[in-house]
Structure 1
């Protein structure tokens, strides 16, 4: 794909303050930061187009390749904003459409000499103030060309400002080109998976402890919520394995970066196995909880039945003698009333001791 040259004098997204990577408050542009990087060192410019001209027109190697690259970072751009960037860098319309609408699975696609990478970001945040924590997902799309990287972020988490600053403190690594940015972003995304997976594991441990504690609590809703969060986490973590594996074999990735990418892939594999094991933990916990609920209900029913049987004795005897027939011998006996009360008390006491001995009371 032929790269689009920037016409002289054209300026895109003029800076609103210092172009130092710090997001200006009340910004009215999706562009968070941009810069040209030559030999691993940042060169600030007044506009994105200036950075592009600096790399494409000002610094070329004898082989015709750019000695540096431009890194543009955007957050939830509009169609118009991303279309302007796409015109400058020659981005494919299909990839641009995916970057605008988001909601993509992790993937790696190639459009001529531009690679388009989609990664899911995750966060573990309260659903409401003081509420239970839930897994929220976002997306990071990267357009990696020979002399540029465009990162498009969707969501309120997974910010890349710290990634940029960390890379700028390591010029030797940044000098390896756009692949170094790709690795750094992938590493940060996978680190986010690790943090969320550990937080979910802590909640699973708390639920397990509550289920097997002597106190009777209802943890079914919490268990089902955790199972839903695990599914969300699996949808983000699992599909990224293929794209990372494919990146390690791409020719545009230097050998030094391939080693780092394999390390990120190894971390992703461990997180994926960890997340997959959560279902194996939650299923028996849920079964144990439901068994405990059933056992507790059976105990309650036995207690109710036992007390019902005990109270049935005086009810039955009083019912017999409450029929008020004229010729009932016991009613004419002076010790009849004490005798009936003694029989009732003895029968109730016998039933109580029997139920107590059998564990019904």
Structure 2
């Protein structure tokens, strides 16, 4: 006999720690930006505005802790679907808020970079240079960022025939305006945003892979007239995809551990990802022949199927498995779409699967 069921898994600990990490990294970024403002902004305008964002973000962090870690789910029962949706709505609101904060921060960063160029221009002594090469070296020395240094060097080399007949004022103004335009361009801001995302998720290549399409779309929006809106959409989509992939990966580890602990053998080759359907398949077997199969989806749901049992003996294995998941702090909903099937159906279904396998292996 076979028993199949579908449930929703919720990994609260992983989900909210992921959002918390996003907030923590953004707080670090803002603190660094405030430090940059102190060096370039005499009026203190940018610093004050960014400090307001920092205080608001800290309040969001406190609210996250209050509404998640201090509101633990019971590990004794299945979660209600309503509770699952409530948690997801809360997470969605937090992602939306963080995306809005990030959009504002990068908008300020753009203004700060422009202001930085203006300050460098004011502080530079244009009378000390003797030739183009000394001006180039003097300019390069004013910048900490390696990309800026490379850009200035390349600009001098590419435009030497044009610059040679210009005055120092003209050369310097030309380079400064060029750098201001470059630093404020959508292309450069998008590159920094994507780079920061990769840095945030660098410990998990699967997560970086999950946000690849969103990153590619953002990098192509060089001429976008709604770039702030595009940035926010990137933050929303990339953070959700990254969170889903990280949680699913954690869920898969816990599912494999749980099924092994209730007596099933799970080989590494029997854990595989179907890229085209974006789902992970897990197959486990008992020495006595019974099998358990799992499909773990990106949306948090998973399907399990138990085969090869007499009567409804698989129910006790399923219950032991769910109990193990709870021990690993992984909660699940009540089963839905639950079905029991007779051995005839299983034999026919297995025959179809085997014939497909044989067909694929002969290609």
Instruction: Please confirm whether the aligned pair reaches a TM-score higher than 0.5, indicating the same fold.
Output: no
Report 1 or 2 for greater relative contact order, CA contacts < 8 Å, sequence distance ≥ 6.
Answer: 2
Q: Tell me which structure has the larger Cα radius of gyration.
A: 1
Say which structure is richer in helix: 2
TM-score relative to the length of structure 2:
0.24
Say which structure is richer in strand: 1
